[in-house]
């Protein structure tokens, strides 16, 4: 795959695809973490005299965080200490004329790419490169730099459509992400521990199955809704209230898959011995083998219990590699952040090479000031897809572009 240092960008127009999709409240972005993650790539391009055309998406149609990129331009301007112009167009005549008139070192940001209907669907490269988006923009750009690791599991025009039309190059963030994930996945050091929590049950089951089958994991520790599904699959009763909640969320359909994984790898998948419930506004811990488990009929599981935290900590402290995705419970409420905070603290304090990903995971380590994790990934879905052993369309596109243009650009 192409790297940034291999190219001369002076006076060249670069379409830089990043993922600045960020949490918003009352129309304002509340975290600039993804902006800071791509700053080194933008600064490198500016310093090397490129005309930088930034493309990102924000939210999904009809969602609360679906907005223009005007706010993104403001934040980038502050971080870069130079004006980043917001262009209220994507590939129309106004956008193309604006791009043609740019000078070396200037930066603009196009409108939210998902305002274009073509950008919302996943399609193969062959279809993506025929879109108006790609055909129109390719007229006015020289190179594509892809630094949108968080969207690497999607196959959409802005992400893969230029691969066979223009040289497509990894940004610094993309390069760093791929290196860290590959290091964790292919490491020969043992034990390798995967901590799977949060609500992405289907993806987490695929990860568990893949890493255990391929010998990439020695132990899986579970939390959040992932733990609830595996606990049910082990034959424990989680009580009427929790089963109703899981049914409503469509999670019971994953229990069969979890049972199948347990049939083959039972001893290597650890589930909580105790849980914390919201008992009339307070944290109360319930041991699965105690009479207190009756509380699970009427009160919802909100976190793993302290006995589980202790067991998980012991395992993590002996690990050589730790991969973690998703919180252990409802960390947004302080009394139920205990499991997530303590498990993530253990990962940070261990001597293991550690990779942590997922929006909620990142939010929790930022909120509680947890430092010491080797690599914090910007992409939860992309990271899970990678560890599930599935192809990431953007990585594939970068490889295709390298093969197509390697003789031309050297």
CA-to-CA separations, 188 to 77, 123, 183, 368, 391, in angstroms, rounded:
43, 36, 9, 32, 22
CB atoms under 10 Å from CB of 313, counted, come to 17
- Helix, strand and coil content of the chain, in percent to the nearest 5, comes to 45, 15, 35
Q: Residue 408's pLDDT is what? A: 79
Q: Residue 410's pLDDT is what? A: 57
Tens of pLDDT, residue by residue, the chain (410 residues) = 999 999 999 999 999 999 999 888 888 998 888 999 999 999 999 999 999 999 999 999 999 899 999 999 999 999 999 999 999 999 999 999 999 999 999 999 999 999 999 999 899 999 999 999 999 999 999 999 999 999 999 999 999 999 999 999 999 999 999 999 999 999 999 999 999 999 999 999 999 999 999 999 999 999 999 999 999 999 999 999 999 999 999 999 999 999 999 999 999 999 999 999 999 889 999 999 898 889 999 999 999 999 999 999 999 999 999 999 999 999 989 999 999 999 999 999 999 999 999 878 888 888 889 999 999 998 889 999 999 999 999 999 999 999 999 987 75
Q: Residue 309's pLDDT is what? A: 98
Residue located via tokens 């049914």? 247
Our CA angle for 81, 86, 90, nearest 5°, is: 140
> Matching CATH topology for 2-170+391-405 and 178-378?
yes
Q: Residue 26's pLDDT is what? A: 87
HSE-up of residue 228 (Cα within 13 Å, Cβ side): 33
Q: Does domain 178-378 have CATH number 3.40.50.1260?
A: yes
Q: Residue 200's pLDDT is what? A: 93
CATH number of 2-170+391-405: 3.40.50.1260
Q: Residue 358's pLDDT is what? A: 82
- The residues that bridge with 286 in the sheet, in sequence order, are 275
In the chain, where are the structural domains located? 2-170+391-405, 178-378
> Are 364 and 344 spatial neighbours (Cβ–Cβ below 8 Å)?
yes
Q: Residue 402's pLDDT is what? A: 97
Q: Residue 292's pLDDT is what? A: 87
DSSP letters for 259-273 = HHHHHHHGGGEE--S
> Are 273 and 288 spatial neighbours (Cβ–Cβ below 8 Å)?
yes
DSSP letter assigned to residue 358: S
Q: Residue 352's pLDDT is what? A: 98
């Amino acid at each position: 795959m192409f790297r940034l240092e291999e190219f001369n960008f002076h006076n060249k127009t670069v379409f830089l695809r990043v993922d600045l999709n960020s949490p918003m409240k009352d129309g304002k972005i509340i975290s600039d973490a993804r902006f800071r993650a791509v700053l080194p790539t933008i600064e490198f391009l500016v310093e090397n005299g490129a005309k930088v055309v930034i493309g990102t998406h924000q939210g999904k149609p009809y969602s609360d965080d679906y907005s223009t990129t005007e706010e993104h331009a403001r934040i980038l301007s502050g971080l870069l200490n130079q004006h980043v112009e917001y262009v209220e167009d994507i590939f129309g005549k106004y956008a193309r004329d604006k791009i043609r008139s740019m000078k070396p070192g200037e930066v603009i940001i196009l409108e939210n790419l998902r305002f274009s209907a073509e950008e919302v669907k996943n399609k193969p490269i062959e279809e993506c490169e025929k879109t108006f988006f790609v055909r129109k923009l390719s007229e006015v750009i020289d190179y594509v730099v892809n630094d949108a690791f968080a969207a690497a599991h999607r196959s959409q025009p802005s992400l893969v459509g230029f691969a066979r039309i223009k040289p497509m190059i990894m940004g610094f963030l993309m390069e760093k992400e791929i290196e860290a994930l590959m290091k964790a996945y292919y490491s020969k050091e043992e034990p390798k521990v995967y901590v799977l929590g949060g609500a992405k049950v289907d993806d987490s089951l695929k990860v568990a199955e893949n890493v255990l089958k391929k010998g990439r994991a020695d132990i899986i520790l579970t939390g959040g809704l992932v733990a609830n599904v595996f606990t049910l699959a082990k034959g424990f009763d989680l009580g009427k209230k929790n089963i109703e909640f899981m049914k409503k969320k469509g999670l019971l359909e994953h229990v069969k898959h979890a049972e199948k994984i347990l049939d083959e790898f039972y001893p290597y998948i650890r589930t909580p011995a105790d849980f914390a419930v919201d008992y009339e506004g307070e944290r109360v811990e319930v041991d699965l083998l105690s009479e207190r488990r009756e509380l699970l009929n009427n009160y919802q599981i909100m976190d793993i219990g302290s006995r589980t935290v202790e067991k998980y900590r012991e395992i993590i402290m002996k690990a050589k590699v730790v991969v973690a995705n998703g919180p252990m419970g409802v960390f947004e409420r302080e009394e139920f952040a205990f499991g997530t905070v303590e498990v993530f603290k253990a990962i940070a304090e261990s001597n293991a090479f550690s990779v942590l990903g997922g929006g909620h995971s990142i939010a929790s380590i930022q909120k509680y000031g947890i430092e010491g994790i080797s690599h914090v990934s910007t992409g939860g879905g992309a990271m899970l897809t990678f560890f599930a052993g599935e192809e990431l369309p953007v990585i594939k596109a970068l490889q295709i572009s390298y093969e197509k243009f390697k003789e031309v650009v050297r």
